[in-house]
Amino acid sequence: MEGLDPERLPRHVAIIMDGNGRWAKKRLLNRVAGHEAGAESVRAVIETARKIGLSYLTLYAFSKENWQRPEKEIQALWQLFRRFVRSERPRMIENEIRVRHMGDSDGIPQDVYAEFQALIRDTAHFDKLTVNLALNYGGRHEIAQAARRFAEEVRAGLRAPEEMTPEVLGSYLMTADMPDPDLVIRTSGECRVSNFLLWQIAYAELYITDTLWPDFREAEFVEALREYQRRERRFGKTSEQLSEERLAPPV
């Protein structure tokens, strides 16, 4: 891919797909038309991620807070999601893409969830690219659930409180077997994280673009990856330390 260093790709990219409503409004369309156009961007971004060779792509599609939206919009979103699962299924299998769910099942219409589960099951053995769909997801809920599971194991005598460390907490999250996101992209200009992967983005690079989600396609995605490659990730160290490490990599 033009201008991208294949040696320095992020392992995990997470995207807050925002701006469907504003995209529709600009065209005097209803919000649902914006979500439909946004689904095309989801398809395009997954295809690009696969082509480039990314390992993990996490897409924030529906938050816990999004239940507060008008009932009609919520229903349309689930119908759209069902259509997406059906139409993308052959492509996911052909391209050997593993699909996973991050979030809770409760509240998602059962028939829609069943089709989604079937896709998850039928792609579970693929390892080229993992696409995590964050649906009915909230970062605080995820951390609270992890804390609760740990507490239950303490009560059952399987764990001791002093065993709790950042690594142990991380192992109770839905991302336990994945690297943390290296890059978080948010479209449509809002500078906030909206309860997305709160724990996992501790050291992620943030990229915010004014482009609305339905307009975010391959070219915009590649530009975000180029910008990522221009950044220096310091993880608390100094620039000088990092240059020394590059000359003599720590063993």
In the annotated binding site, the residues are 18-23, 31, 35, 63-65, 67, 69, 186, 192-194, 205
Q: At what angle do helices 110-122 and 71-94 cross, to 10 degrees?
A: 20
Nearer to ligand IPE, 78 or 126 (CB): 78
Instruction: Indicate if 215 belongs to the active site.
Output: no
Could you say whether residue 57 binds ligand IPE (CB under 6 A)?
no
Give the per-residue contact string, 5-34, with Mg ion (x = CB under 5 A; - = no): -------------x----------------
Instruction: Indicate if 195 belongs to the active site.
Output: no
Asked if residue 169 lies in contact with residue 151, where contact means CB atoms within 8 angstroms, the answer is no
Binding residues for substrate: 19-23, 31, 35, 63-65, 67, 69, 186, 192-194
Q: Pick the catalytic residue: 30, 66, 95, 195?
A: 66
Asked if residue 120 lies in contact with residue 101, where contact means CB atoms within 8 angstroms, the answer is yes
Could you say whether residue 229 binds ligand IPE (CB under 6 A)?
no
Could you say whether residue 103 binds ligand IPE (CB under 6 A)?
no
Please tell me what DSSP assigns to residue 204: P
Report the C-alpha gap between 130 and 98 in whole angstroms: 5
Could you say whether residue 228 binds ligand IPE (CB under 6 A)?
no
Task: Name 205's bridge partners.
Answer: 183
What are the helix (H) ranges across the chain? 20-26, 31-52, 71-94, 110-122, 139-155, 166-170, 218-230, 239-247
The one segment of 12-20, 92-100, 201-209, 228-236 that binds ligand IPE by CB under 6 A: 12-20
What is the token pair recorded at 18? 């925002």
Q: Minimum distance between the CB of residue 47 and Mg ion, rounded to whole angstroms?
A: 24
Asked if residue 38 lies in contact with residue 17, where contact means CB atoms within 8 angstroms, the answer is yes
Could you say whether residue 10 binds ligand IPE (CB under 6 A)?
no
Could you say whether residue 30 binds ligand IPE (CB under 6 A)?
no
Could you say whether residue 212 binds Mg ion (CB under 5 A)?
no
Contact with ligand IPE (CB under 6 A) among 13, 14, 19, 220: 19
Longest dimension (CA), the chain: 60
Report the C-alpha gap between 187 and 218 in whole angstroms: 14
Partner from Mg ion, ligand IPE, none contacting 62, C-beta within 5 to 8 A by type: ligand IPE
Asked if residue 100 lies in contact with residue 176, where contact means CB atoms within 8 angstroms, the answer is no
Residues that bind ligand IPE (CB under 6 A): 16-22, 60-63, 65-66, 77, 188, 190, 192, 194, 213
The catalytic site residues sit at: 18, 66
